[in-house]
Structure 1
């Protein structure tokens, strides 16, 4: 691929752009099939962009269920049918006889999984239920989790490997906030959501610690729109659920959903 492909992406994304370009080149020129680890939505957009530029490869994205956020990619030469190539995804079911399992949250499961020394890329979406959790995991590592994961945040747990079609999804839970803001600028809304001063928000944004739709955003004045997902390192993430119009004083009413 052209060497100037990097100009279309943020500098922080260049490493992934190079890897994805290599996968596509090997599929197109060496007839190799590539099954990636789980990609976040931004990485999926980059991969699709590069694959569509090539024209000699086919691909599909699969996260184990239709609405998956994190998905694996199958990349193949254009004479192959990517639907015939399995995504190799299983469900790790986590349960417990301890009633405290109802108190566990997404971060508790994530922390326990990562403490086993496995990269985040091997893990897809995490669905937390009142009685436990279902985690999408790549087949090559799911047996390791099954053997090694015995505790989540001091709660002793039991694990079981299930096929992806037995996944029990969980509804995304938001803490809803109704804001009245002067504008839809990134820094202003992030400031109001996390109750930090505008001054304290500027530094992390300009340092590349903020992402909008999984893409690094260093411009504090970027205008947000309905549906945007914003994350600030160390603070979590939120979604712009609805822009509800103007107040009589000319401010914008915005409904925000902070991810639980």
Structure 2
């Protein structure tokens, strides 16, 4: 079992994953085992690499299917094992339809259809909504099942095809730029302005653990945000603090926010 003092560095909700990740590391070191994980979110990859770096006899490789992938699989192995040629077992599930209804389908529609088949989120990497459909990175072990069973997305009939990684089409990131003037960099105030919610309505999901800063659960409404921070509020979306421009004559802070479309 991992040393309990490590828990102080992580949110209580993360302790279960910390235990699992440390078990992978210990097994690689003591039993010379190789572990290939499911897809991990950026916070989980941070936790894993932190633990791997604590052990001198273990290393890992992270891969999400393309250079800027957000969700990645990891291979954890003894440090003497060469990982560059290790199979990461990632496929591209291409989803398409012949009608124009795809124009209205969004990331959440594809995710909902996939999870509606009983698929675990951990088997799914990044999802790219492109013209005429979607390219979804999936674990090889889930690819055939999705290919055979996914036939409808939000009442739109679809066809699927499995492609190699070199055929992946990556969607361009769309950010709605917002210029705000805020009294402080407090998280609750900025979240309130970005999602056009009252401060009281913002406090409820934050204190319920539904807000993340840089993929880490944050329950303190007064947490100060800084340039580069990524914030997500479950059910509302996410945004990035692009730039803190400075202070106005009236003492307010000018901030540029990039809200993900």
- TM-score (norm: length of structure 1): 0.97
1:99 positional shift = 1.0
1:203 positional shift = 2.7
1:198 aligns with 199
Alignment of 1:36-185 (within 5 A): 36-185=37-186
1:5 aligns with 6
Please report the RMSD computed on the Cα atoms of aligned residues, expressed in angstroms. Answer: 1.1
Q: Which moved more, 1:145-154 or 1:245-254?
A: 245-254
Whole-Å separation in 2 of the counterparts to 1:184 and 1:219: 13
Q: Secondary structure at the match of 2:18?
A: helix
Q: Secondary structure at the match of 1:240?
A: strand
1:186 aligns with 187
Q: In the TM superposition, what whole-angstrom CA distance separates every residue of 1:58-111 from its partner, at most 9, and x where no partner exists?
A: 101000010000000000011101112111100001111011112211111111
Q: In the TM superposition, what whole-angstrom CA distance separates every residue of 1:186-245 from its partner, at most 9, and x where no partner exists?
A: 011011111222122223212211110110111111111112111112211111122222
Whole-Å separation in 1 of the counterparts to 2:204 and 2:102: 38
Q: In the TM superposition, what whole-angstrom CA distance separates every residue of 1:114-170 from its partner, at most 9, and x where no partner exists?
A: 101111110000111121110000000001110001111111111110111211101
1:216 aligns with 217
2:21 aligns with 20
Q: Secondary structure at the match of 2:38?
A: strand
Q: Secondary structure at the match of 2:137?
A: strand
Q: Secondary structure at the match of 1:82?
A: coil
Q: Secondary structure at the match of 1:242?
A: strand
What stretches of structure 1 move > 3 A for 4+ residues in a row? none
Whole-Å separation in 2 of the counterparts to 1:41 and 1:124: 11
Whole-Å separation in 2 of the counterparts to 1:132 and 1:31: 43
Aligned residues: 260
Whole-Å separation in 1 of the counterparts to 2:94 and 2:204: 40
Q: Structure 1: which 5+ runs fail to align?
A: none
- TM-score (norm: length of structure 2): 0.97
